Structure 1
Amino acid sequence: MNTHVFRFGEQVLTALPSGALWWGDRRLLCVSDLHLGKADRIARRTGRMLPPYETRETLARLAADIALTDPATVLCLGDSFDDLMAADSLDVTDTAMLTSLQAGRRWLWAEGNHDPGPLALGGTHVAQHDCGGLTFRHIASATPHEISGHYHPKHAIPGTGTARPCFLTDGNRLILPAYGAYTGGLRATDPVLSGLFTGRILAILTGRRAICVPLTASAPSVRAGRWPGSRR
Structure 2
Amino acid sequence: MTGHAFNLNGTALIARGAGTLWLAAERALIVSDLHFGKAARLARRGTLLPPYDTAETLARLDAEIAATAPAQVICLGDSFDDLAAADLPEPEALWLTRLMAGRRWVWIAGNHDPGPVALGGSHLAELRLGPLTLRHIAQPGTSGEVSGHYHPKARIGRGPARPAFLIDAARVILPAFGAYTGGLLSSDPALARLMRPEALAVLTGPRALALPMPR
TM-score range, shorter chain: over 0.9
Q: Which structure 2 residues correspond to residues 7-18 of structure 1 after superposition, within 5 A?
A: 7-18=7-18
In structure 2, distance between residues paired with 1:76 and 1:191? 26
2:79 corresponds in structure 1 to: 80
* Aligned-partner residue type, residue 33 of structure 2: D
128 and 116 in structure 1: CA distance in 2 versus 1, 3 angstrom threshold:
farther
Question: By how many angstroms is 1:86 displaced?
Answer: 0.7
1:164 corresponds in structure 2 to: 162
SS in 2 for 1:4: strand
Structure 1: runs of 5+ lacking an equivalent: 218-232
TM-score, structure 1 length as denominator? 0.90
2:211 corresponds in structure 1 to: 213
SS in 2 for 1:195: helix
Query: Larger deviation: 208-217 or 177-186?
Result: 208-217
Runs of 4+ in 1 over 2 A off after TM superposition: none
In structure 1, distance between residues paired with 2:102 and 2:202? 31
In structure 2, distance between residues paired with 1:116 and 1:130? 22
SS in 1 for 2:194: coil
Question: By how many angstroms is 1:173 displaced?
Answer: 1.1
In structure 2, distance between residues paired with 1:92 and 1:36? 14
Q: Which structure 2 residues correspond to residues 130-209 of structure 1 after superposition, within 5 A?
A: 130-141=128-139, 142-159=141-158, 161-209=159-207
Structure 2: runs of 5+ lacking an equivalent: none
In structure 2, distance between residues paired with 1:3 and 1:76? 19
Cα displacement string for residues 96-141 of structure 1 (whole angstroms, at most 9, x for unaligned residues): 1000000000000000000144511111100001011100000011
Aligned residues: 214
Cα displacement string for residues 121-166 of structure 1 (whole angstroms, at most 9, x for unaligned residues): 111100001011100000011321101000000000124x111000
Q: Give the alignment's Cα RMSD to 1 decimal.
A: 1.1
Query: Larger deviation: 63-72 or 111-120?
Result: 111-120
In structure 2, distance between residues paired with 1:216 and 1:151? 15
Cα displacement string for residues 56-112 of structure 1 (whole angstroms, at most 9, x for unaligned residues): 000000000000111011000000000111111x11110010000000000000000
Would you say the 8 A contact 2:80–2:114 is kept in 1?
A: no
Cα displacement string for residues 150-189 of structure 1 (whole angstroms, at most 9, x for unaligned residues): 0000000124x11100000112111000000000000011
State, as a whole percentage, how many aligned pairs show the same letter.
57
TM-score, structure 2 length as denominator? 0.96
Would you say the 8 A contact 1:87–1:118 is kept in 2?
A: no
1:228 corresponds in structure 2 to: none
* Aligned-partner residue type, residue 127 of structure 1: A
Q: Which structure 2 residues correspond to residues 117-128 of structure 1 after superposition, within 5 A?
A: 117-128=115-126
